[in-house]
């Protein structure tokens, strides 16, 4: 993804562009006025130049100047908003959040993963995968079909043969069906602690424990 820690480098670059444009515009003004002065001094008194052209060119330069200044003001405003966004994101460091995620972190027979199913689910099953081999290590049946709140995924850390697996990171899916066997929508979540805030392309990303980085919109709740 190429995320970088909170920085205002991109907005600073934009501001430098506006400053450069204004500087260039000032040089154009100077050259234009120098040329205008020379032409007026050396014009033929019997055939004076059309002043309308000079007025028109001055008006065009004035419009360009106003456009560049407006763009500069917008860039400054964007920079200020980006700073406020990054500061608000930094306040999340160390807080526990609930995020949309298919990760399962197993530690001493406990997990921090949750799920939620739609109305009408009759049977709910979880499949837990080894992320390296993508092999199902455990299938858990008979899970709660209560759709009114998040349900915690309870896993004792054993595989389908009853052997303990190593603590660490796994992934899981939830399969829910109604009484007719038709699939019901299901979502997976986990609770994690924000370790770092990354700011890029105008939005915050949160690096969570378990080496997972998610955008701000993936966070459902914080405590």
Domain C-terminal end among 90, 114, 147:
90
In a domain, 4, yes or no: no
Instruction: Catalogue the long-range contacts made by 133-139 (C-beta closer than 8 Å, 24 or more residues apart).
Output: 136/160, 137/165, 137/170, 138/165
What does the pLDDT read at residue 160? 96
Are residues 132 and 162 located together in one domain of the fold? Answer: yes
pLDDT tens for each residue of 123-140? 999 999 998 899 999 999
Are residues 65 and 134 located together in one domain of the fold? Answer: no
Tell whether the torsion through CA atoms of 119, 125, 129 and 135 is positive or negative: negative
CATH number at residue 111: 2.60.40.4070
Q: Which two tokens stand for residue 12?
A: 């600073």
Q: Which domain holds residue 117?
A: 96-222
Are residues 114 and 170 located together in one domain of the fold? Answer: yes
Higher-pLDDT residue of 126 and 20 is 126
Q: How confident is the model at residue 64 (pLDDT cuts 50, 70, 90)?
A: low
For the entire predicted model, the pTM comes to: 0.58
What does the pLDDT read at residue 220? 85
Number of domains in the chain: 2
């Amino acid at each position: 993804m190429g995320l970088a820690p909170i920085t205002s480098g991109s907005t600073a670059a934009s501001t430098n562009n506006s400053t450069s444009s204004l500087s260039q515009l000032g040089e154009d003004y100077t050259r234009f006025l120098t040329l205008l002065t020379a032409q007026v001094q050396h014009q033929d008194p019997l055939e004076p130049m059309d002043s309308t052209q000079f007025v028109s060119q001055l008006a065009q330069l004035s419009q360009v100047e106003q456009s560049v200044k407006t763009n500069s003001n917008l860039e400054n405003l964007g920079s200020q908003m980006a700073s406020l966004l990054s500061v608000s994101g930094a306040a999340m460091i160390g807080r526990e959040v609930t995020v949309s995620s298919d990760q399962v972190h197993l530690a001493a027979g406990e997990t921090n993963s949750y799920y939620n199913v739609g109305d009408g689910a009759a049977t709910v099953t979880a499949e837990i995968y080894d992320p390296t081999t993508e092999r199902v290590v455990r299938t858990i049946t008979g899970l709660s079909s209560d759709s009114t709140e998040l349900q915690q995924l309870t896993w004792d850390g054993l595989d389908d043969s009853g052997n303990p697996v190593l603590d660490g990171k796994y992934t899981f899916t939830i399969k829910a069906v109604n009484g007719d066997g038709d699939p019901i929508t299901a979502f997976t979540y986990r609770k994690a602690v924000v370790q770092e805030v990354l700011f890029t392309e105008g939005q915050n990303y949160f690096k969570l424990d378990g080496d997972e980085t998610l955008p701000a919109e993936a966070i459902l709740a914080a405590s």
